[in-house]
Amino acid sequence: MAQSKHLDPGTMAEFYGAELRRRREETGLSQEELGNLVFCSGTYVGQMEVAARRPQLDLSERMDGVLGADGFFRRLCGAILKASRFAGYFAAAADLEQRALAICDFATTVVPGLLQTPAYTRALIRSLRPLVGEEEVERIVDARQARVRVLLKYPAEPELWFILHETLLGMPVGGTGVMREQLRHLADISRTHRAIIQILPLSAGVTPLIYGPMRVMTFLEEPSAAYTETAHSGQLIEDPAVVATIAKSYDLARAAAMSPEASLAFIDRLLEEDHTP
């Protein structure tokens, strides 16, 4: 396991799934029965067994306990997360977004990663980790831009929908020049129909999602999932009841936001009002 950083996380996930299936069958448990014991669905167990879903640390620890694996699944899961080009807490969500039919993001203070320009991303990283080296900064920027290139292709696939709170448009991340470039980028994405962007104005007041960023992802043959994060951590939410509640909250925010056309006009006005080059 010491050389795991040289291995492909997808290959390790396949090994994880094959071993999970072998040990589950040895204990005589069905996928549903194992899921009940580790507090997830049988469908999710099956998806991990065929590497359709990446494992998570807390779930892997419960697998170890139920299957008597003596920490095997926790260690392998840790290696998979370490080998990923993304932060460990985001790796599973990054894997899911590649297969999503639709991704709906709500953001309150920071432009979502899929909409960020490289300069905006660099400024954010510097604000969070002021002592990190340039090589690490560029590694993070490159990983984020790789996601952007895959997901913001045209015609749009998956369908992307963003609700941005008005507050984040006025926050000069990286200074005036970086922020103007970011606003132009948002306007370009909206104008070329690569994503739907709506602005939630301050006048809309409090909405159920106002407490932080939230994403809902839907799939063709998999249950929907949600994801939320802070500056240094994130959480993938897969409980169907919780995801359904979050989706309803997103619909309420969508209803309170400006139309896509009005939102584009709002961004254009911000660019016209600030004449800084």
Domains of the chain: 4-83 (1.10.260.40), 88-273 (3.30.870)
Tens of pLDDT, residues 13-22: 889 999 999 9
Both tokens of 84, joined, read: 């990923």
The Cα–Cα gap between 32 and 40 comes to 9
pLDDT at 70: 94
pLDDT at 276: 47
Percent of the chain with pLDDT over 70: 93
Tens of pLDDT, residues 128-172: 888 888 998 998 899 888 888 777 776 667 899 999 999 999 999
Of 217, 34, 182, the closest CA to residue 112 belongs to 182
pLDDT at 80: 81
Q: Which residues fall within 8 angstroms of residue 82, CB to CB, at 6 or more apart?
A: 4, 5, 88
pLDDT at 3: 39
pLDDT (tens, 9 = 90+) of the chain, 277 residues, equals: 333 445 677 788 889 999 999 999 999 999 999 999 998 888 889 988 988 777 888 889 999 999 999 999 999 988 887 776 676 678 778 878 888 999 999 999 999 999 999 999 999 999 888 888 899 899 889 988 888 877 777 666 789 999 999 999 999 999 999 999 999 999 999 999 999 999 999 999 988 888 889 999 999 877 899 999 887 888 888 888 999 999 999 999 999 999 999 999 999 999 998 654 4
Tens of pLDDT, residues 251-264: 999 999 999 999 99
Helix pair 72-83, 9-26: axis angle to 10 deg: 160
pLDDT at 274: 64
Give ∠ CA 185-190-196 in degrees, rounded to 5.
Answer: 125
The Cα–Cα gap between 257 and 165 comes to 9
